[in-house]
Each structure stands twice: as C-alpha cells, then as structure tokens.
Amino acid sequence: MKNRFAPVLLLCASLLAGPALAQASGRVAVPHRDFAGVPAIDAAALSGMPGARAVWYPVSETMLLRVEGDPSVEIRFNAGVPFATVKGATIPLPLAPQREGGAFWVPRIPVVQALDSLLPGEYSWDAQAGELVWAPEKDLVGMSVAPSDAGTAVELRFTRKVKWEKFFTRPTFVLRFDDVALPVDTLPRKFTTGQIRNIGAIQEPKSAQLSFEVNHLVGDVTVEPRDEGRTLVVFFHRPGEAKKESPAPAPAAAARPDKLRTIIIDPGHGGKDSGAIGLKAKEKDITLAVGKKLKAELEKRGYVAKMTRSDDTFITLKQRPELASKWKGDLFVSIHCDAIAGDAARKAQTKGFKAFILREAESEEDKAIARRENKFIDESSESGAKRELSPVEWILLEHQLNLYSKESEHFADALVQSMGKTEIAKNGSGAGQAGFYVLVGAFMPAVLLELGFISNPADEKYLASPQGQDEIAARIADGIDQYRAK
C-alpha cells in the first residue's frame, strides 16, 4: 500500500508541514469509522492540527486540505470519486471519499503513514482515544545489544550525526548528547547480558542522557563512532579485555606451538544442507570424502585429527568452531567447494581453489562466497541466506582477530603453495578474506578452503574422483607440515 499511494502521502505531508507541527507534542480528536473494512477519518477535523486548514465546497462536494497561509499547496478530494487530484495529477485512493453525517470521510491509513514517515516528528493513531497524536521527532531510532566472551557491544543508531560526551563513575556509565531527542518511553530498561543491569534515559529541552548501570564484570568502556557519526558502538569490555589504542603483540598462547598436534577438519555442509551442486556431484559429499582422506593422511604423519562430522550429518555453523575450541585444536580447516551461476561458458571459465581467512572482505566476489557459505546459520532457519557479519560483530571479533589473524594468514599461505601442486589452478591469487561464520569462534589459526568450483566441469570431475581427492588430501597435509615448519 505504501508504494501505491506514495504520491498521496507526499502531498499530505506537504499540506500539514507547518513549522508549528515540529515544535511540540499534541493530539487532536478525529472522528473515525470504517467503510467496507477501510478505516477512514473526517478530513475536516484535521483543521485542529497547527498549520493545517480544511476547506469545504458544498456545491461540488469537494474538500481541500491546505497549509495555512499557502493556498497554492493543496490536495483535492471529491465525494464518491476514488481519486485525489494533486496539482492536476490524479492519484488512486483505497476508498472513495464519503460525505455522511456532516463529515467528509477520507482514508485514514495513508494520511497517518505520511505524517509519521515524512514530517519532522512522530505521528500515530491512538485507537482507544480516537486521536491523531504527534510529538517531536526522535533522533535515536535503533538500539541493539550483542554480548560475547570479550564483552558487550551496544549499537545506537541515530537519524543524523550527534554530539556526545562520556562519563564513567562506577557503576554508572553515562552518554550525554547535545540537541538530541530520545524515545524515553520505549527504551529497554532491563538487560540480561550479565554486564549491564539496566538503562536510564533523561530528556531535557536542549540535551539528553543515557545511563548504563554496570556490574563488576565491566572493565573499561569505549565508544566508537561509525557511519559518519550517525552510529555509536558502546563496548563494555570485560576486565582485561579493554581496547588498546594500537594492537598489542599477540600473547604467547597465540603463537604457533612448537609441537603442532591437533588438527580440526571441518567438512562443509552435510545432511539437509547439500551445499553447491554440480552436474553430478554434491558439495557435501566431496568435502566429506576429502575430509576422511585428510584425517587418515594426517594420522599417518603423527597428528591427532578430529572431524566435525564423519557422516552425512547436519551441523550448524555455530557448532563447528565450538567443537574445534572444545577439542583444543591447534589448527582449523573448513573444506568447501565453490560454485557460480550462469551459462555453460561462464561456468567453464570460472575455476580454481582459494584459501580464506576471517577478515573483512576486500571484494564483492569474496563477500558473495561468504554469503553462500553462511546460508545455514542455525539448524532451524534459512533466513540467513545472504547474511554478512555486521559492524558490531566485527568489533566483538577483535580479540579473536588480534590473536589469530596473522597465524591464519601464514596457514593460508602454506595451503596456497601446497594446493598449487594439484590439477586445480588458483582462483586469482589463491588467497582471500571474508566474514565466514564457520570461522567465528575458532580460537586457533583457521582457514576456509574452497577446493575448486563444482560448477566447472573440469574442476568437478577432479574433485569427485578418488585420485583427485587423494591428491587434495595429501596437498592439504603438506600445507600443514609447511606451516608447522615455519
């Protein structure tokens, strides 16, 4: 409905956009009723709003809505005609205006939606009171909370760049804003993150304040502006996890172990998640076959190898790195096959392997690969088919990235060198980076390896063959040996 009646909404907004409307809150009682299921209001009653005027012409049964003092801006309704005329343009309406009982009924929803979405204020319909309600526009339009092992990120989204200052007098952290309107009545008050107990909000004529009551699980609190100052990310660090001004050297625990021992093999997809499908093969079958061969090869070389799945079982993207950390792995390698849509010529041209680490993508192609691999974020939903890591999630990952990003890069380089000895060529440089959920939470050097394009006939034939799988497993094991030796 919004798109269909957009021209009407714009005009209504223009008519009622007198300066007084943005200056104060208020409400006006408006007669209302339904016509054939369509809610309607008496247009004449809108004259009760500051800056608006309704004019009735009884001979032609026409109602004009005008901005007071500017008769050139108007919208015309005619009784019985399901259209509105706006400066010569004819716009359809969901209800033909009705003259009945001394009132002139017009569709309510388009008018209220226009006020709420386009005017410098907030407008709503109070069904119980039968009143149109307006208030000054709220600058804070969104808040999200994301807890993690490193702390809690609270993202505050504003309609514009805001001026702020912070104060931290334990146990209260305060953000104070200049010339900002907060939705005081609708802000959440209680939190269950374990770090933030509750939130308070104070609105003053020329300023506003948010206060967070925290407990002993909070060390430092940092505020990072984003989106040109329209978004603030407030991070409540756990003790010992405070954000440094510059990256600190990775602690000894993050360094490459002298005796690299436990390798976690993650065959991608499985069960109801087939992954990409080629002319004959399925990604989930290839990754499992290569994973089993890799496990056997690593065990022959003296490693301890564990697989996140050893049969055609579905495991969520969240569970896979959790298993790796639970098993105290020294390396994590998630095995996948790439794919591309298009005609036969495009599929034949696009081929090659690529080793990815967890870092923000630098190309749209790598983002697209991550979105495909992120399809099944949890066991019950496919709603995340195109999900990417959000700015808040990247902040939460900072600790993991500081510890393992460099070592993951070394591991990926070693895999690129060893995989280059297979029949499958590199895809580009052979190395990439993107926000793969399967790598999130793997507290060890971790790589997602796309073995090749299952959509490419030559790659698929090699990937699905026992000989190709044997060689790939051996080359991945060689890469692990090379990484260990560096």
Domain with CATH 3.30.457.10 in the chain: 6-136
Instruction: Dig out the tokens for 85 from the structure.
Output: 């005329």
Give the separation between CA 20 and CA 200, rounded to whole angstroms.
30
d(CA 375, CA 393): 17
Q: What is the residue whose two structure tokens read 């040109």?
A: 228
CATH of domain 140-237: 2.60.40.3500
Do 138 and 122 contact (CB within 8 A), yes or no? yes
Q: How far apart are CA 248 and CA 152, in angstroms?
A: 21
C-alpha to C-alpha distances, 402 to 56, 221, 279, 367, 380, nearest whole angstrom:
69, 19, 41, 21, 32
Q: Are 477 and 294 in contact (CB under 8 A)?
A: yes
Angle value at C-alpha 439, between 154 and 359, nearest 5 degrees: 70
CATH 3.40.630.40 range(s) for the chain read 252-485
Instruction: Give, for 30, the enclosing helix (H) or strand (E).
Output: none
Strand-pairing partners, residue 103, are: 100
Please give the order of strands across the beta sheet that includes 131-136: 26-29, 131-136, 121-126
Q: Among the residues of 105-232, which ranges form H helices?
A: 108-118
- Tell me how far apart the alpha carbons of residues 112 and 108 are, in angstroms, rounded to a whole number: 6
Length of the chain measured in residues: 486
Is the whole model's pTM more than 0.85, yes or no? no
Give, for 174, the enclosing helix (H) or strand (E). Answer: strand 172-178
3-state secondary structure of 329: coil
CA dihedral 291, 276, 433, 237 (to 10 degrees): -80
Given this model, what pLDDT does residue 137 score?
Answer: 65
Q: Which CATH superfamily is domain 252-485 in?
A: Zn-dependent exopeptidases (3.40.630.40)
Tell me how crowded residue 314 is: count the other CB atoms within 10 A of its CB. 14
Positions of E strands within 304-360: 304-307, 331-338, 353-358
Which tokens belong to 323? Answer: 């298993």
CATH of 6-136, picked from 3.10.28.10, 3.90.1150.10, 3.40.50.300, 3.30.457.10, is 3.30.457.10
Nearest 5°: the CA angle 249, 250, 256 is 130
C-beta pairs of 384-389 under 8 Å, 24+ apart in sequence: 387/437, 388/435, 389/360, 389/435, 389/437, 389/440
Region(s) of the chain under CATH 2.60.40.3500: 140-237
Q: What is the pLDDT of residue 281?
A: 93
Q: What is the mean pLDDT of each run of 10 residues along the chain (486 residues)?
A: 36 40 66 87 77 78 70 73 71 83 83 56 77 75 79 86 90 90 72 78 85 88 88 88 40 48 92 89 95 95 92 87 86 93 88 87 64 54 48 55 79 93 90 81 86 94 96 95 88
Encoded tokens for 68: 């007071």
